[in-house]
Chains A and B, each alone.
Chain A
């Protein structure tokens, strides 16, 4: 309850234009918003721009904040929209035309080699981490938004649904597809690695 009361007091101060409250809000939320933007866009400078745009927009429209979600979730919602708009500016045709198909693409498993029991050090290499980062960046955008909010930022299903303006069921479905999509993509790399070990 203390958190909710603290947040209400913070929002009241933000509405009153209290600069200390603005600084507090930025300190609390900028790191998470930056991580979200970086995972969505894959570019540090652009992620920084998203963080700036998010807070400029939030402070300007704080009077319109209606407590349908927490302040943090509201900020994530603004940030996600800003990031998605930037993505759409980059690839307008692919987003509008291919969206329905891309959500379901590559979620039916075709890679069926069981690479889960490779030696642990194979999963801890820089190469393996780079592969995983690249896979996350390559996730179809609608799956990526859910995945980053839910799995990397740790929002609940309900908070993720509020941040994206979709149903909780939709969050669950997209998250499941994102996991299958990542599994399929990683399978290519780890299967090849396993075969290399066998040959060696």
Chain B
């Protein structure tokens, strides 16, 4: 596959992965991926990257920080 085609499709990969690309574009990308190992690797690892950050634990505001916040905002009487 020609390199410029890789570059052209690169900008569409998020839409492709999220299922937001048009049917015609999906077909073009699938056809390109079938013959381009490098782009297939980018798609696979991009998907994996998205999956990984979606499973990251979310940091919590600690109870001590919450209490400090309520005090600063003069809302101490609402602390449970």
A-side residues, CB < 8 A to B, are 19-20, 22-23, 26, 30-31, 34-35, 38-39, 44, 48, 51-52, 55-56, 59, 108-109, 112-117, 123, 128-129, 132-133, 136, 151-152, 172, 175-176, 179-180, 182-183, 186-187, 190
Q: Are B49 and A175 in contact (CB under 8 A)?
A: no
Q: Are A31 and B53 in contact (CB under 8 A)?
A: no
Question: In the complex, A176 Cα to B19 Cα: how many Å?
Answer: 14
Q: Are A52 and B14 in contact (CB under 8 A)?
A: no
Q: Are A35 and B44 in contact (CB under 8 A)?
A: no
Flag whether B54 is at the interface (Cβ < 8 A).
Answer: yes
The secondary structure that dominates the A interface is helix
Q: Are B50 and A48 in contact (CB under 8 A)?
A: no
Question: In the complex, A77 Cα to B58 Cα: how many Å?
Answer: 20
Q: Are B40 and A114 in contact (CB under 8 A)?
A: yes
Question: In the complex, A129 Cα to B58 Cα: how many Å?
Answer: 12
Flag whether B24 is at the interface (Cβ < 8 A).
Answer: no
The secondary structure that dominates the B interface is helix
Q: Are A20 and B58 in contact (CB under 8 A)?
A: no
Q: Are B75 and A186 in contact (CB under 8 A)?
A: no
Q: Are B53 and A176 in contact (CB under 8 A)?
A: no
User: Of the candidates A23, A44, A52, A152, which one forms a contact with B53 in the assembled complex, judged by CB atoms under 8 Å apart?
Assistant: A152
Q: Are A23 and B47 in contact (CB under 8 A)?
A: no
Q: Are B78 and A183 in contact (CB under 8 A)?
A: no
Of residues 51 to 79 in B, which have CB atoms within 8 Å of A's CB atoms? 52-54, 56-61, 65-66, 68-70, 72-75, 77-78
